[in-house]
Each structure stands twice: as C-alpha cells, then as structure tokens.
Structure 1
Amino acid sequence: MAAANHTQAPPRRRARAAWIIPLLLAAWTAGMLALTMAPLEEVRAGISFSITKLGHTVLFFGWTVLAGLYVMVFRGNWGVRLVPLLIAGTLFGVAIELAQLLLPFGRSARLLDVVMNAIGAAAGCLVLQRVRRRYGE
C-alpha cells in the first residue's frame, strides 16, 4: 500500500495562495514603513524598550516569510535561495534605519535595531526552509 503524498499543497489551494501572498506582502511592507517612519512620540507612547526590539524581530520575520512565500508560490520557484533572502531582509532593515537617520521624522538609527531585524529575517528563513521541505516541488 503506497503512502499518501502530503508534501505538496493541492493546486487549487496554491493558486488561491498565489494571489493572497503578494497582497499580504505589500500590506505588510506598507505597515512596516508606516510604523518605522512615524514620529517617535506616536510610536513609543507607553511601549517599553524590550517590546520595541521584539517588534523589530516580528516585523522582519513576517516580511521575510511573506517575501519567501511570494517567490516560492507566486513565482513557482521552490528552490529559492534563503541566504539572498536573509541578506535582502537585513538590507531592508539597514535602509529603514538609514532613512530614520536622514529624514526629519524625529527618529534615530540604532545598530541594535538592525541586529533585531536580521534576527527576525533569519528566523523567517528557518521557517521557509521547513515550508520548502514539506511543500516544495
């Protein structure tokens, strides 16, 4: 008796996901930019230091997972390389910190924020690796 192949999502489900993922990625990116470019007083009202750092990690985790799923599902490239995706997520974080430094929004750039962004991107790559093993073609 042959074992059922549970490694691939059904084609219909993949087709639906293919259109949802780019929309989620665009919305997530817009939300990230809104949060990271908003005046500091509005963002930090009543939020502790550790929660803001965790927020960086969560934002970049989500962005990396959505960007990777976009390439895997929407573009059909299940063999996407995760190191360039990690680099892209980290560079996106660096770009945000540079924008905070250079633009007059009352924000400041911090190396720890870049590190937390990179940790989030790395965690996202680990999740994508598991997704690729389970559903990859």
Structure 2
Amino acid sequence: MNEVPTIVGWPSVGPPDRQALRAIDRFLSTMANIDRTEFHPDSFHPQLLKAWPTPSPDSSGTTRLDIHWFTTGEFSVTYYQADECVDQRVGRWDRHTGSRGTRCHFHHLSTTGNIETVDFDEINPLGVLRTILASLPRA
C-alpha cells in the first residue's frame, strides 16, 4: 500500500506535487542568486527540493531552502543558515489548514518563534517562490 508522506505536526497535506517541484527546480536554476538546486525524489523524501541561495556578503556560512509542495496546494519552505557544522532553521513559510490561524503564515524559528500572516501575491509555486526569494538577505 502506498502511504502519503506527511510532515511531522501537520494534518494530511496530500501527495507530493512532483510536477510543481520540477517547475520550481527549473525556475530556481535560472536565477542568478541561486547557486544550485537538488531534486531527487525517492521513497524517503519524495516531496523535497533543496536550493542553495547565494549567501549575502556579510554571511560567514551557507544558506538553504527546503521546499515541499503538495497536490492540494499546501506547501512548506524552510530557510536554513549554516556556519561551520551547525544548520539553524531561521524561518518557515507554510500554507496549510490547521489550528494556528491563517492558512499562509511565516514561522520565526530562530528568534521569537512567533507566527505571522503572509499575503502572497500569487498562490502558485513560482509566485510563492518569487515572494520568498525577495524577502531573503541579498547576495
């Protein structure tokens, strides 16, 4: 039996949208501020696309986006900063139903842990990624 992958702590978000993830991968690979992407779906991580934005000049480490997109239109994009050997989650953009209030929101993971509402101009994979990339520190 095929089980639908889930993200821990989330309600069922449906199967991964590999077509959307491939479109995001192609879109990100054309961007000058993205160093590289990696999307190799397998049985353990069928919904994960990784992208490495070019770090800002004052950064001493690397940055990474972990992107999950589902056929239901739900998504999660986690932003990491790494220095030497420690990955630190900085924030996460989500769209899902749940008890935390608004469907589209941003979690401040490294500081306050606060959650704020996010208004995306477009709720499609490329529109969401454009909004997220515009909010990242510039290289």
- Fold conserved between structures, TM > 0.5: no
Flag the structure with higher strand content. 2
Flag the structure with higher helix content. 1
Query: TM-score by structure 1 length?
Result: 0.25
Query: TM-score by structure 2 length?
Result: 0.25
Quick check: which has more Rg, 1 or 2? 1
